[in-house]
Amino acid sequence: MRLCMPIARLGSRGCLQGDEIGKQSWHKMPLAEVPYTGRTSPLRRFSVSLLALRTMTATWSFRKKTELDTDRDPIQGEFFSGEAIDDAAEALVRESIQNSLDNRRAEESVKVCIYISKEGEALLPSQLIRFTAGLFPHLLAERNGLEAAPEQRERCSWIAVEDFGTTGLTGDPATWNPADDEKNNFYSFFRAEGRSDKSGTEGGRWGVGKYVFPLCSRANSFFGYTVPFDTKRPQLLGRSILKSHRVGAVRYQPDGYFAAPASAGLPPMPIISPEIIGEFRHLFGLRRKQEPGLSIVVPWRIGEEDELTVESVRSACVKDYFLPLLSGSLTVEIRSGSELVVLNAGTAPEYAQADPALKPVVELARGVVQNGLPHEVRLDRYETTSAPRWETSMFSEASLREIGACLLDNEPITVRVPMRIHPRTGAKWTHFDVHMIGESGYGQARPYFIRNDIRVTGASRRTVQDVHAIVEIRDPDLSKLLGDAENPSHTEWRQETRGFKERYMYPRATLEFVKDSVREILRIVRQADSAPDALVLADLFPIGEESVGPPAARRRTKKDGKPITPPTPDLELPRRSRLMTVSRIPGGFRITNTESPVTEPTTISVRAAYDVERGNPFKTYSPFDFTFGKQITIDVTGGASLLEMADNRMEIEVRSSPFLIEVSGFDVNRDVVVNSTTKVLADV
């Protein structure tokens, strides 16, 4: 058996020299040297493993660019530049913990250990030689996309993110051409851009979340050490993502791998050498021995000054993952030197105390995960079968009362909201929960949106007054829908997200229904409370007695044109002389002069609206009801002339009697209210 590289080319510690490696193409290596394929026979795997144990070489390799390759500039970093992610710490925490939660083993609690090396701990270049072999010529190449590439003599600070209680990267690492329905986490994590095996209720799905790791490295590089729970076989692979670049006279592709010696027909294969893996674990102080899970090491980390600190990571963890922390499904350990912070159900609320916006939300969430909130209301399904829409009919009198009372008393309450979604494959009812608590005098607060365990930080920027709220989505179908609408960094729900409109009907209304849920609940509850109260002042300003005899008698007198004769002397209201009268004509009304003469030029302002059962008809007017001059014809004759008109208003100038204004064209199935005022022109 041959070694993959001539021994003469090894450096002082048996590693390849970078400039020499750069001249190699790993895909041209002989097949016999393949260390582990994952799809080969057991006998071959055994022999390959033996070889790997003996193979002490592991190098960084970039493939040469050929005439068939395009010049590429990987852009995944842009996915994390959204304003909903504040900084590198938050991006790292969001993506790494989300991946860990998505890969949780059944019934297991996930533990994530984050190590941030301190300045004094930075590794010497000599300590790193084995793991940087072949890398520096590419890191130092011009126009490789790195803004602050590490120097070869520079010490290396790092971040390690390890998860436990997870599956690790399962799947055949030799796979390079998976079947469409093949689930292969290893392939998706290391070998695919924009591909994810996640779907349905899982947090990630764009397949770009992993790029947060190179993003946190000044070398745009990271190592992944995984123990898949099914094979229990430790594997180590490194990845570097640059632009297409030139080393010497050779142009290279952007993707580099720290891998076992290459073999033709196989992708860069993970290192399984216990010796190399042992040294790697020791060097970077990893906690993992043989436990299933994934350990990521980000060398030459960014944010050495202040961006990535125990405090910033801790803050991001509590802010984005308080719900799984409180429920016990997640524990996070953050270390830096001797500094240790443990986040769990007991400590997360303590750390939230310092953040006035977060503290009440975490307290609310604690109530939810411990025993459920003391008050729970289930809304009724809305009547519409098309786009989801908030309707007052969803709220029974009792639920309105309970929600209103809880908010008033600052008592926490859960409102379960039914929601009909419309995948193109068939509509179905789902639901989500809105947890709320009032805080008198707090001011404007933004609701928190949590899909499964991931907080969608930019789901809605609309605030509510004096109420803290968490919108929690766990229903699998609704979670899938919202996941499909998420942007790559999982911070927003957008109807424009690729493929969303094609998969679902009413995309905008569907997302708005969830985004506006807290505001709509509060609006309906407060609106119910704001219905006119016609009783509270009944003793001060009462409607008078109505023992006034049959109304028909009164109508007759009016039709006869005689003055109103009130049925009792107390109700008699004298009449003042008027310039005009308003009377009904078929389909409209007429304004005419009275016997009072027009002594001065006067303007008559007229407003009309269809009458409504409750409220101000003029406020409920819409141009869809009617518009003067369109559906409504106006005929002005005599000593009057039309000055202007718009919508449901018009102004008429009257200079002499007689005058006649006829307005017609109204829907006679509805009553019309007419307001008219006069003003002497000299006053105008």
State the amino acid at position 223 in one-letter form.
F
* Residue 394: DSSP 8-state: G
Q: Which is nearer to other proteins, 211 or 626 (CB)?
A: 626
Does 441 bind other proteins (CB under 8 A)? Our answer is: yes
- Considering only residues 120, 426, 544, 597, which one is a binding residue for other proteins as defined by CB under 8 A? 544
Calpha distance 146→73 (Å, rounded): 11
Give least dist CB 508 to other proteins, A.
Answer: 26
Q: Which is nearer to other proteins, 396 or 622 (CB)?
A: 396
Give least dist CB 433 to other proteins, A.
Answer: 22
Hey, what are 53's tokens? 């144990």
Give least dist CB 191 to other proteins, A.
Answer: 56
Give least dist CB 354 to other proteins, A.
Answer: 25
- Considering only residues 578, 600, 622, 656, which one is a binding residue for other proteins as defined by CB under 8 A? 578
Does 661 bind other proteins (CB under 8 A)? Our answer is: no
CA distances from 261 to 5, 116, 496, 540 (A): 8, 30, 44, 94
Among 155-163, 284-292, 629-637, 670-678, the segment contacting other proteins (CB under 8 A): 670-678
Residue 437 C-beta-side C-alpha neighbours within 13 Å = 16
State the amino acid at position 113 in one-letter form.
C
Q: Which is nearer to other proteins, 228 or 438 (CB)?
A: 438
Give least dist CB 76 to other proteins, A.
Answer: 45
Does 543 bind other proteins (CB under 8 A)? Our answer is: yes
User: Contacts with other proteins in 474-533 (CB under 8 A)?
Assistant: 526, 528-533
Of 334, 162, 180, 324, which Cα lies nearest the Cα of 234? 162
* Residue 306: DSSP 8-state: T
State the amino acid at position 190 in one-letter form.
F
Calpha distance 624→489 (Å, rounded): 43
**Site map (CB under 8 A) of other proteins, residues 63-102, x = contact:** ----------------------------------------
Of 63, 61, 8, which Cα lies nearest the Cα of 260? 61
Does 682 bind other proteins (CB under 8 A)? Our answer is: no
What residue has token string 């493929």? Answer: 499
User: Contacts with other proteins in 153-212 (CB under 8 A)?
Assistant: none
**Those residues with Cβ within 8 angstroms of residue 325's Cβ, 6 or more apart along the chain or in another chain:** 317, 318, 331, 332, 343, 344, 345, 348
Q: Please, are residues 509 and 387 in contact by the beta-carbon 8 Å criterion?
A: yes
State the amino acid at position 362 in one-letter form.
V
Does 600 bind other proteins (CB under 8 A)? Our answer is: no
Among 121-129, 239-247, 493-501, 543-551, the segment contacting other proteins (CB under 8 A): 543-551
- Considering only residues 81, 370, 616, 641, which one is a binding residue for other proteins as defined by CB under 8 A? 616
DSSP H stretches of helix in 82-194: 88-102, 125-132, 136-139, 185-190
Calpha distance 21→417 (Å, rounded): 60
User: Contacts with other proteins in 1-40 (CB under 8 A)?
Assistant: none
Q: Please, are residues 115 and 168 in contact by the beta-carbon 8 Å criterion?
A: no
Does 375 bind other proteins (CB under 8 A)? Our answer is: no
- Considering only residues 83, 180, 570, 595, which one is a binding residue for other proteins as defined by CB under 8 A? 570
- Considering only residues 444, 596, 671, 684, which one is a binding residue for other proteins as defined by CB under 8 A? 671
Task: Report the DSSP pairing between strands 110-116 and 330-336.
Answer: parallel
Give least dist CB 582 to other proteins, A.
Answer: 4
Residue 507: phi, psi to the nearest 5?
-60, -45
Does 645 bind other proteins (CB under 8 A)? Our answer is: no
Q: How many residues belong to the site for other proteins (CB under 8 A)?
A: 76
Does 589 bind other proteins (CB under 8 A)? Our answer is: yes
User: Contacts with other proteins in 225-264 (CB under 8 A)?
Assistant: none
